Structure 1
Amino acid sequence: MEPFVYFKSERISDSVTRIFGPAGEIMYLVEGSEKAALIDTGTGVGDLKAFIESLTDKPYFVLLTHGHVDHAMGAPVFNNVYMNPADKEIYAMHSDFSVRKGFLEMNMGEMFARVKEEDYIHIGSSERYKSLLPGDIFNLGGINLEICVGAGHTPGLVTILIVEERTLLLGDACNFFTFLFDEFSLGITSYQNILRELNERTTGRYDKVYLSHGSGDAPREMLDSILALCEDIKAGTTDDVPFVFMEHKAFIAKEVDENMRRLDGGLGNIVYSKDKVHK
């Protein structure tokens, strides 16, 4: 049997390559004329480092949008990694082998049987990672990455504006099915305030939106859609469909079809905890 192929990629612009991981997670390699940045590192199985170095010969560094199991677990094999310190606790919890293995098994289905024990990379402390904060700017040579706010899904989540490409990487900050219900996520009111700040900073500066799951693409209006939905949740005008994920009980704000898309034709959705609406 041939070795399992963990990563696939597609060039989506002059500067950006989208990388698909084994559990449906998406990473991005952004290249300027002088260097490159890998945004997120997936679940920590397979040789991501070798895959990245087959795509670019430029010196590169890693930016982690947040510390979850499907975004940050491949980071230990890289030398130059940035992450918001606010996600250190989440990163440590998700580094647990049982969490990593359980996530892959849940998301990969039958293909999980192809994952070998030796394919998991060793996860150490995040203490060596450099701080990544909103306001930071990384110049890749003709391409600038501007770090923006995005907290809610996790307390340290960041979004990234690819300035010259007029593209906003929302990642998991707000999308078609935004998770906002565990013990680390912000309440709806705090989350909405963060998104308002993001909107103020980026309005008129982007034409495209990239996400970290699904196809990776979303309409430019995604942020506006989620901001409006926050108002609906606070007003109590949502459908509130019960939802359970890894023992967490929550509610889907707007009813969805089998593909998890809103039945009312709206864009973004939120899975939230009712006891944190006004926090």
Structure 2
Amino acid sequence: MDYRVVQMDEHTWRIEEFDDTSSVYMYLLEGSERAMLLDSGLGMIPLDEITAELTSLPVDVLATHAHLDHIGGNSFFEKVYINELDREVFSLHCDKFRSHYPDYQFRGQRDNIIWYTGEKEFQLGGRTLRLVSSPGHTLGAVSILDVERKWLFTGDTCCQASVLLNLEYTTTVETYKRTIERLLSIGEQYDLTWPAHHKIPVSPEILEQFREAADLLLDKKAEGEDIEMPFGPAKCFYYKDISITYTPDRVFDRNDA
């Protein structure tokens, strides 16, 4: 596993962890008093040494969600914040889910998780991070609004690719649409979105595409193609620059809809 560091501005860095099969972005955000690392990747690179070279301030971790490619390096740090709603998916990805990646030697977790409820705000010193609940890809997924810079960090919620709603502990398309509508409703508060995978940065227009695609599925004006995923069969609806991967039982909030 290799990595590269890209400086985004004087106090912000993107850490890219990658090999031939996987790639994930982490973002180190520095204030005047503390720094926050958004996600900890797969944990195959020395994140403690990398972040120490970039900032002399204490570094905490804030997970956008609890999938294994976002929590793998948690043990490098003293405090890791994860939404309580992702506690079960965290356990799954620390245990059974790792067997899908036999070539990786994952680090163990430690007792450094701070489980929080509701929406939080972090003050780093002249830099405000505001959490926006974003259920969809997981129940406890969050987006992080970097208030002063007008950036929105979205994890896996709206990459310019497919959002996966076909895994254990994902939500319905209907719930996901409400998340996208909420992010669009605060659109005046951000100019760019920074996802955890694929193309970066992403124009807010991509959120509009996800809303349109979800509407077509919910209105039964479109249906995804049958595909086979490593975690079982699913459907994928390709729309413009994005797609939604889902299972037929996770379209509506009620199965009888």
Cα shift at 1:101: 5.8
**RMSD between superposed Cα atoms in Å:** 1.9
Cα shift at 1:55: 1.5
- Tell me the TM-score normalised to structure 2 length: 0.89
1:187 aligned onto 2:172: yes
Inter-partner Cα distance in structure 2 for 1:212 and 1:77: 19
1:123 aligned onto 2:109: yes
Secondary structure of 1:21's match?
A: strand
Aligned counterpart, 1:8: 4
Secondary structure of 2:81's match?
A: strand
- Tell me the TM-score normalised to structure 1 length: 0.83
1:229 aligned onto 2:213: yes
CA gap of 1:104–1:270, structure 2 versus 1, over 3 A, is: farther
Contact residue 21 and residue 42 of structure 1 kept, 8 A: yes
CA gap of 1:92–1:142, structure 2 versus 1, over 3 A, is: same
Q: Which amino acid aligns with 1:177?
A: S
Cα shift at 1:134: 4.7
Contact residue 9 and residue 17 of structure 1 kept, 8 A: yes
Inter-partner Cα distance in structure 1 for 2:2 and 2:110: 22
Unaligned runs of 5+ in 2: none
CA gap of 1:99–1:189, structure 2 versus 1, over 3 A, is: closer
Aligned counterpart, 2:233: 249
Unaligned runs of 5+ in 1: 106-114, 255-261
Secondary structure of 2:87's match?
A: helix
In the alignment, which of 150, 159, 162 is matched to residue 177 of structure 1? 162
In the alignment, which of 97, 101, 105 is matched to residue 99 of structure 1? 97
Inter-partner Cα distance in structure 2 for 1:146 and 1:267: 28
Aligned counterpart, 2:242: 268
1:155 aligned onto 2:153: no
Could you report, residue by residue, the CA deviation over 1:135-157 in whole angstroms, capped at 9, with x for unpaired residues? 31111122111000111100000
Task: Choose 76-85 or 241-250, whichever is displaced more.
Answer: 241-250
Q: Which amino acid aligns with 1:183?
A: E
Inter-partner Cα distance in structure 1 for 2:210 and 2:149: 23
Inter-partner Cα distance in structure 1 for 2:200 and 2:153: 9
CA gap of 1:103–1:26, structure 2 versus 1, over 3 A, is: farther
CA gap of 1:80–1:38, structure 2 versus 1, over 3 A, is: same
CA gap of 1:199–1:132, structure 2 versus 1, over 3 A, is: farther
Aligned counterpart, 1:77: 76
Q: Which amino acid aligns with 1:187?
A: T
Q: Which amino acid aligns with 2:182?
A: E
Identity among equivalent positions (%) equals 27
Contact residue 136 and residue 147 of structure 1 kept, 8 A: yes
Secondary structure of 1:165's match?
A: coil
Aligned counterpart, 1:55: 54
CA gap of 1:250–1:135, structure 2 versus 1, over 3 A, is: same
Could you report, residue by residue, the CA deviation over 1:16-47 in whole angstroms, capped at 9, with x for unpaired residues? 21111132011100111221100000112232
Inter-partner Cα distance in structure 2 for 1:94 and 1:80: 19
Q: Which amino acid aligns with 2:214?
A: C
Residues matched between the structures, number: 249
Aligned counterpart, 1:259: none
Aligned counterpart, 1:257: none
Aligned counterpart, 1:112: none
Contact residue 134 and residue 158 of structure 1 kept, 8 A: no
Secondary structure of 2:148's match?
A: helix
Aligned counterpart, 2:121: 137
Could you report, residue by residue, the CA deviation over 1:179-208 in whole angstroms, capped at 9, with x for unpaired residues? 0112311111122123223332x2201111
Could you report, residue by residue, the CA deviation over 1:47-89 in whole angstroms, capped at 9, with x for unpaired residues? 2111111211111211011110110121122101100011111
What stretches of structure 1 move > 4 A for 4+ residues in a row?
A: none
Aligned counterpart, 1:212: 196
Inter-partner Cα distance in structure 2 for 1:167 and 1:104: 36
